[in-house]
Amino acid sequence: MPPGTPEPPRDSIDAVVEGWGGIRGDLDVSPVAVVARLGRVRGVIEQEVEAVLADHGLGLAAFTALAAVARLGADEGVAQARLMRELRLTSGTVSVRIDRLVADGLVERRPDPADRRGALVRLTAEGRERFERVVPVHLATERRLLAALSEAEQQTLAGLLRKLLVSFEGCAAPGADPGRAIGAVLTPAHQAMGMRGSVGLSEQAGLLVRSVDGGGPADRAGIAAGDLIVAAAGREVRSVVDLHEALAPGTPTEVRLLRGERRLAVGIAAPAA
């Protein structure tokens, strides 16, 4: 911090970080400053949202399921198996949530003509009315909870969280996956660090190449399984988002690698869109 710059206001996590530093000053405790704040912010937001939804006879879990049915179901309904994938929940958990919504008269099940063992879930008239009534209030609550951030700050935060979530979940849109574009399967940085460390290599952040398609752009550039992509077009690569933004379709891009601990540079051209 430049001399004369006032100290920023402190929050509850500052004391947590200092406490960790006090008991294990030999360790880098900086991740606590991010992860602990994410947890604390989530707790506050969920508490506020739950209180608002309770006024409409819903909990957060029920509203999330109801919103998914409304978003995906249209008039014909949505397969319960798809709800499981969308909500990232087990089949049993989704069944319990839908059972409760059925008992409350908000959704109904009917046989899925495309799957004898499956069921389609759709909103009842009461469920549609409840959803339409709650959504504006819910969105207003979320907008209020983000009021400390400007629109530009909210967009920046959303971009950073998207980058982190893509690393955990993968690309939701295959067309935007740079691994597919260059003909390689890439392992995200948090997994790559652990895999390298397990074989005695430096825990460098980057994208680990798991496999390469024969004859694809990565193969032609000389990239091999086990390489770690650490930079592209002069910028650090820690996520497929970084690589996606660095690659210029149809134009060679310099990609820097770690092969073991040896540093290499190759030129790779992703196919033109």
Is 64 among the domain residues? yes
Rg (CA), the chain: 24
Statement: residue 24 has pLDDT above 70: yes
Is 41 among the domain residues? no
Q: Are residues 128 and 179 in the same domain?
A: no
Is 2 among the domain residues? no
Domain with residue 127: its CATH number is 1.10.10.10
**Which token pair is 89?**
């929940």
Last residue in a domain, options 121, 142, 163: 142
The CA distances from residue 139 to 146, 152, 204, in Å, are 11, 18, 40
Q: Are residues 189 and 229 in the same domain?
A: yes
The CB density around residue 79, as the number of other CB atoms within 10 Å, is 17
Domain with residue 248: its CATH number is 2.30.42.10
Is 151 among the domain residues? no
DSSP for 213-264 reads -TTSHHHHHT--TT-EEEEETTEE-SSHHHHHHH-BTTB-EEEEEEETTEEE
Tens digit of pLDDT for each residue in 36-54? 999 999 999 999 999 999 9
Last residue in a domain, options 98, 118, 142: 142
Of 73, 58, 157, 165, the residue nearest 121 (C-alpha): 73
Last residue in a domain, options 142, 162, 197: 142
Domain that holds residue 198: 174-268
Statement: residue 258 has pLDDT above 60: yes
pLDDT computed for residue 37 by the predictor? 96
Average pLDDT for 225-232: 97
Per-residue pLDDT band at 67 (split at 50, 70, 90):
very high
Per-residue pLDDT band at 6 (split at 50, 70, 90):
confident
Q: Are residues 135 and 191 in the same domain?
A: no
Of 267, 256, 163, 272, the residue nearest 218 (C-alpha): 267
Q: Are residues 105 and 184 in the same domain?
A: no
Q: Are residues 89 and 134 in the same domain?
A: yes
Statement: residue 73 has pLDDT above 60: yes
Please give the sequence-ordered ranges of beta strands (E in DSSP) within 61-192, or none if there are none. Answer: 78-79, 107-112, 115-123, 184-187
Q: Are residues 88 and 135 in the same domain?
A: yes
CA distance 157 to 212: 33
pLDDT computed for residue 23 by the predictor? 87
**Which token pair is 219?**
């193969």
Statement: residue 243 has pLDDT above 60: yes
Q: How many domains does the chain have?
A: 2
Per-residue pLDDT band at 212 (split at 50, 70, 90):
very high
